[in-house]
């Protein structure tokens, strides 16, 4: 275990940073744009790989940087869940910039809906600050997407596809994912859409953080 003392200190109060697969995962918000049916938190399950990810309050920038410690001790620092990290975009970018200044690598796991939420293209802000993006496509069409992910309004799915295309031009490594085994989800069709958009596809397993 490479976690430093400060990580333990904050972990005992609430889990802000946790280590998995030689990466440091960050839990900066429990808020989400979506209400995915398969999400552990909507099934009253807040533990991921034995880490309790329920936040009593959102950590501030200093809390997060303290919880990480030296980012060079990890392969990547990953903004993850249980929540959508881009809902705190200004804080995320400030934290990511500091991680980069300290010599770390940054990945963001996202629903790809921040442009839809903010009604503007935010992807240029990622350039030079985010090394990798992992974007949840989750379905091969809007009907299946809405059934599983339950967005608050119509139009999320086409906005997600547009986000992927824009992110591809700003971030070096963009990976699009879908979960294998969800009813009606056609993994091959998801792969085809992804390849058409010119980025890499990765099939995920349900409840596996990565």
The structure tokens 């060079």 sit at 72
Residue closest to ligand SF4 when measured from CB atoms: 39
Q: Evaluate the omega torsion of the peptide bond into residue 82 and state whether it is cis, within 30 degrees of 0.
A: yes
Least separation in angstroms between CB 101 and ligand SF4? 28
- Cα–Cα distance for residue pair 136/152, rounded to 1 Å: 17
- Taking the least distance from each CB to ligand SF4, the nearer of 181 and 198 is 181
Confirm if 98 and 106 have CB atoms less than 8 A apart: no
- Compute φ and ψ for 25, nearest 5 degrees: -95, 140
- Give the containing element (helix H, strand E) for 160: helix 156-168
| Closer residue to ligand SF4 (CB): 16 or 39 | 39
Q: Which is nearer to ligand SF4, 3 or 117 (CB)?
A: 117
Radius of gyration of the chain (CA): 16
Contact 17, 104 (CB under 8 A): no
Interior CA angle at 45 toward 39 and 51, to 5°? 105
Question: Smallest gap, in angstroms, from Cβ of residue 207 to ligand SF4?
Answer: 10
How far apart are CB 139 and ligand SF4 at their closest, in Å? Answer: 12
Q: Which residues bind ligand SF4 (CB under 6 A)?
A: 32, 34-36, 39, 41, 81-84, 111
Smallest separation, CB 81 to ligand SF4 (Å): 4
Nearer to ligand SF4, 71 or 109 (CB): 109
Q: How far is the CB of 87 from ligand SF4 (least distance, A)?
A: 10
Nearer to ligand SF4, 81 or 104 (CB): 81
Which H or E run includes 12? Answer: helix 5-13
């Amino acid at each position: 275990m490479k976690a430093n003392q400060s990580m333990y200190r904050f972990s005992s109060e609430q889990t802000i940073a946790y280590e998995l697969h030689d990466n440091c995962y960050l839990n900066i918000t429990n808020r989400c744009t979506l209400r995915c049916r398969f999400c552990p938190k909507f099934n009253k399950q807040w533990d991921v790989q034995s880490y309790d990810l329920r936040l009593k309050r959102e950590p501030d920038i200093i809390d997060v940087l303290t919880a990480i410690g030296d980012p060079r001790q990890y392969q990547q620092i990953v903004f993850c869940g249980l929540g959508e990290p881009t809902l705190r975009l200004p804080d995320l970018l400030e934290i990511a910039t500091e991680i980069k200044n300290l010599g770390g690598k940054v990945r963001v796991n996202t629903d790809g809906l921040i442009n839809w939420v903010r009604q503007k293209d935010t992807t240029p802000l990622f350039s030079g600050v985010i090394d990798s993006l992992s974007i949840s496509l989750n379905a091969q069409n809007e009907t299946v997407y809405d059934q599983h992910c339950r967005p608050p309004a119509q139009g999320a799915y086409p906005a997600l596809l547009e986000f992927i295309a824009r992110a591809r031009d700003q971030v070096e490594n963009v990976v699009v994912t879908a979960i294998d085994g969800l009813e009606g989800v056609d993994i091959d069709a998801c792969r085809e859409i992804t390849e058409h958009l010119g980025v890499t596809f990765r099939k995920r397993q349900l409840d596996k953080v990565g």
